[in-house]
Structure 1
Amino acid sequence: MSAPRPFERTALGRAVNSLEETVIAFLLGAMTLVTFVNVVLRYGFNTSLIWGLEVVLILFAWLVLFGIAYGFKITSHLGVDAITNMLPPGPKRVMAIITALLCLVYVALLAKGAWDYWAPFAGLQQTTGRWFPTGITEGVRSRAFYTTDQVPMPAFLSFIEPWTLNRGFPEAEWEHYEKLPRVLPYAMLPFAAALMLLRVCQALYRILRGTQDSMIVSHEAEDAVEEAAAKMKDA
């Protein structure tokens, strides 16, 4: 893992980093807890949380998407650098910039696709343009009434109903969600894509400034071997 960036050494940077790590730990812990409780209920009491599997799938998807963005931040994504390491510093830096720009284009396309997929579930419109957004389209059928299969709707989340399920309807005709609407678990798609876009922009900025030399983890295996050797030597 690369050394901490200057921003991460500030109080705000440490707070943001701690928050992200806490979210990742919470998602992983919640998945483990729900699975454990379901196993105990199934084998100990011949029952189960009917919504348990679906919740675990949602949390796992959130963990993966959020973790991808976090991986860009701490330069933990794996890659092959056998060829670039043979280049002199100048061409190697150019290759790193090209790599970052390609990642930027890819994540921008991913962000557009994530918004276009999620928007109808929120009662919003998709973007126009085949590759990059050129505006907001019209006439997309709302999918705000789509719900999850088993997850019950928490009462404290009912405040979203006027903005999604009942958008454009008079209050006398409002309906209520019985199950958790898909707009909520799917919201991680545009959020994570936007976060990835931010992290790739930050990585490109660091490469241009010369404080980062690659988009991938550098010599992870060698670093692990050296760390293990140091521990054995101290012991």
Structure 2
Amino acid sequence: MELMGMTIALIVLVAVLFMAERAFPAAVERLEENVIAILMALITFISFFQVVGRYGFNSGWQGALEATRILFAWLILFGMAYGIKVGIHLGVDAVIRLFPKPLFKAAAIFGAFATFAYGMLLLYSGWLAFFGADVSSNWRQSGAIGYWTFMFDRGTGLDELRYPEWMQTTFGLQDRVQRWIAYLMLPVGLALLSFRSLQALVEIAQGRKELIVAGHEAEDLVQQNLNTLKD
């Protein structure tokens, strides 16, 4: 049930994001940027205060390292989809730019499709069974959705990240924060990656986007700051 529920929730999330972006593109972009900024700020603050507490007061938060590691994973998983949207992923395009224009476009579309397939494979690899692939004996539990569902069913806690005592007493929570909460960004991030890759594929096919990656960002940066360098 949780497997189906998570799948439906991800579909709804992508559908809402798609509709919101068509109606309020600037607001959605600010939201994504704010999420990335908040994650980076949390990592910075936790690390800073942990250093101050450890070396200044010989104390600190026991779960600080695990918290920053989880937040960094969230930053990567959320940021990879945003990177495709704004075209800031690094890429090598020296060879395909030698191709004739139709072949170049075909290679760009293939790159976007490969990224989409990669995201879907990690998100839910069980769909390969429909093409005859022997993914596993329990293929319905494969991929990020299956892994998250497994953690949700077990309710296993993290190693060091714990709920405050007042939350445990008030809400009857277990001692350690559940792993499924920390791992929630895994299926969400891969769903967003797949959506942005498919979106980029359509944009490339329509001629509104050249590549799914930025292959010559250094050259563009120099051109943008050429006047500054002259001054």
Relative to the length of structure 2, the TM-score reads 0.77
CA gap of 1:147–1:8, structure 2 versus 1, over 3 A, is: closer
The equivalent residue for 1:109 is 121
The equivalent residue for 1:178 is 175
Cα distance in 2, alignment partners of residues 117 and 194 from structure 1: 14
CA gap of 1:120–1:26, structure 2 versus 1, over 3 A, is: same
Counterpart among 69, 83, 92 of residue 95 in structure 2: 83
- The one-letter code sitting in structure 1 at the alignment partner of 2:175 is E
- Aligned positions of 1:148-187 closer than 5 A: 148-153=158-163, 176-187=173-184
Question: Which protein is richer in helix relative to its size?
Answer: 2
Number of paired residues?
A: 193
Cα distance in 2, alignment partners of residues 67 and 24 from structure 1: 7
The equivalent residue for 1:97 is 109
Determine whether 1:43 maps to 2:73: no
Cα distance in 1, alignment partners of residues 41 and 60 from structure 2: 19
Q: In the alignment, is the contact (CA less than 8 A) between 1:153 and 1:181 conserved in 2?
A: no
Counterpart among 198, 203, 223 of residue 200 in structure 2: 203
Q: In the alignment, is the contact (CA less than 8 A) between 2:167 and 2:173 conserved in 1?
A: no
CA gap of 1:115–1:9, structure 2 versus 1, over 3 A, is: closer
Q: In the alignment, is the contact (CA less than 8 A) between 2:144 and 2:186 conserved in 1?
A: yes
- The one-letter code sitting in structure 2 at the alignment partner of 1:26 is I
Q: In the alignment, is the contact (CA less than 8 A) between 2:92 and 2:215 conserved in 1?
A: no
Deviations 1:9-32 (A, max 9, x none): 977111111011111011111001
Question: 1:79 aligns to what SS in structure 2?
Answer: coil
- The one-letter code sitting in structure 2 at the alignment partner of 1:38 is Q
Counterpart among 225, 228, 231 of residue 228 in structure 1: 225
Relative to the length of structure 1, the TM-score reads 0.76
Question: 1:114 aligns to what SS in structure 2?
Answer: helix
> Which structure 1 residue ranges, 5 or more long, are not aligned?
1-6, 124-142, 162-174
- Bigger relative CO (Cα 8 Å, ≥ 6 apart): 2
- The one-letter code sitting in structure 1 at the alignment partner of 2:159 is D
Q: In the alignment, is the contact (CA less than 8 A) between 2:117 and 2:194 conserved in 1?
A: no
Quote the sequence identity (%). Answer: 38
